[in-house]
Amino acid sequence: MGCGKPSTETPHLIPYTETRTLMGTVVSITVYAPTFEKGEEAASDAYRQMEALERLLSGYTAESDVSRVNRMAGASAPVSPPTLFVIERALEMSKLTGGAFDITVGPLVALWRDSVVRARLPSDADLQAALLQVGYRKVKVSEGAEEATVSIPVGTSIDLGGIAKGYIVDQAVGVLRRHVSSALVNAGGDVYALGAKPGGEPWVIGVQDPRRPDDLSAYIDTLYVTDRAVATSGNYARYFEIEGKRYSHIVDPRTGRPVDSVPSATIIARDATTADALATAVSVLGATGTRELVLSLPGVESLLFVRTEEGRWERHASPGISALTTKPPRLD
């Protein structure tokens, strides 16, 4: 992950890097600031914002908005403005991706987690029963003057795991912008590069080699970006293991089964919320569906590594990727 020396043109900016565990993953922030103290202050402000949002959006804490919506299934649950924003954005992404992205996968995720505990694959009957509770159109949002509410039917549950991290990265970047003009946030594969590095060099982001999941320094591609979000969904970091086989933690909302043909999906977009949700969605859509979708979205690029049925690896890149994988020449 890029964190070079400050260039000679801007000798007064120094890099400050901090890493914390948050949202069940490692979150690192690098900023270029005039002093160590200013860098530290920017990063700690950003972490504070991320922690506050995690408390609202996490499915793992009983006090979060998400847990309240799920607990109150069958009735309208009040939610705070950030949660409303993420849920509305998620529903837009569902429409955009033909339902490949769907936050109502909660019952399916629960079924597969349960299968891990029981060490047995779910039965078709279990899958069909869970699928009946899935469908983004079941989520009803109402924005009153006083408060917003979200309601889902009894039996349905929402899971913001495919979009919340991206949103939290975007909000952290919003905080960093008040302090600095050059920063990199990486929340376990959801990255945003703010500005360029001092001297105008782009930020350098390595794409993990999906063939070597256990070597985190093995990169298959390198991206050079400025003011862009880069999100990678892969089946190497988080997965379900049942009967000795690894299954992706991304499920296809149409079949209820974990996806298995896209071990690595990277999306480059203008914001991390979009990049995160699309990276999850294209893991479901596969190479052909991704090509059509990405060509229709301005400012979005995709880089997929897929495994064919014969076990061959294929790289599928959208047309704009080659410009991002080439290090731009220095003009000075």
Which parts of this chain interact with ligand ADP (CB under 6 A)? 101-103, 105, 109, 159, 161-162, 165, 188-190, 233, 237-238, 249-251, 253, 276, 279-280, 284
Asked if 64 touches Mg ion (CB under 5 A), the answer is no
Cβ-contact 45, 25 below 8 angstroms: no
Least Å from the CB of residue 80 to ligand ADP: 20
Position of minimal CB gap to ligand ADP? 161
Which of 213, 233, 209 minimizes the C-alpha distance to 222? Answer: 209
Instruction: From the list ligand ADP, Mg ion, none, pick the one residue 122 interacts with, judged by a Cβ distance below 5 to 8 Å according to partner type.
Output: none
Please report how close the Cβ of residue 267 comes to Mg ion at its closest, in angstroms. 9
Cα(114)–Cα(120) distance, integer angstroms? 9
Q: Name which of 56 and 281 has its Cβ closer to Mg ion.
A: 281
For 31, residues 6+ apart whose C-beta sits below 8 A from its C-beta are 15, 16, 39, 42, 43, 176, 179, 180, 182, 183
280 binds Mg ion (CB under 5 A): yes
CB nearer ligand ADP, residue 8 or residue 21: 21
Which tokens go with 331? Answer: 């003009």
| Cβ 84 to Mg ion shortest distance, Å | 19
Nearest CB to ligand ADP, comparing residues 134 and 176: 134
To Mg ion, the closest distance from the beta carbon of 126 in angstroms equals 25
Which residue's beta carbon is nearest to the bound Mg ion?
Answer: 280
Could you say which of Mg ion, ligand ADP, none residue 250 binds, taking C-beta under 5 to 8 angstroms by partner kind?
A: ligand ADP
- Residue choice 39, 162, 256, 263 for contact with Mg ion (CB under 5 A): 162
DSSP element (H, E) containing 33: strand 25-33
Interacting residues with Mg ion between 180 and 209 (CB under 5 A): none
Give least dist CB 194 to ligand ADP, A: 20
Q: Spell out the residues 6+ positions from residue 128 whose beta carbon is closer than 8 angstroms to its own.
A: 256
CA distance 55 to 49: 10
Nearest distance from residue 166's CB to Mg ion, in Å?
6
276 interacts with Mg ion by CB under 5 A: yes
Tokens of 292: 């059509």
Which residues of the shown chain bind Mg ion in the complex (CB under 5 A)? 162, 276, 279-280
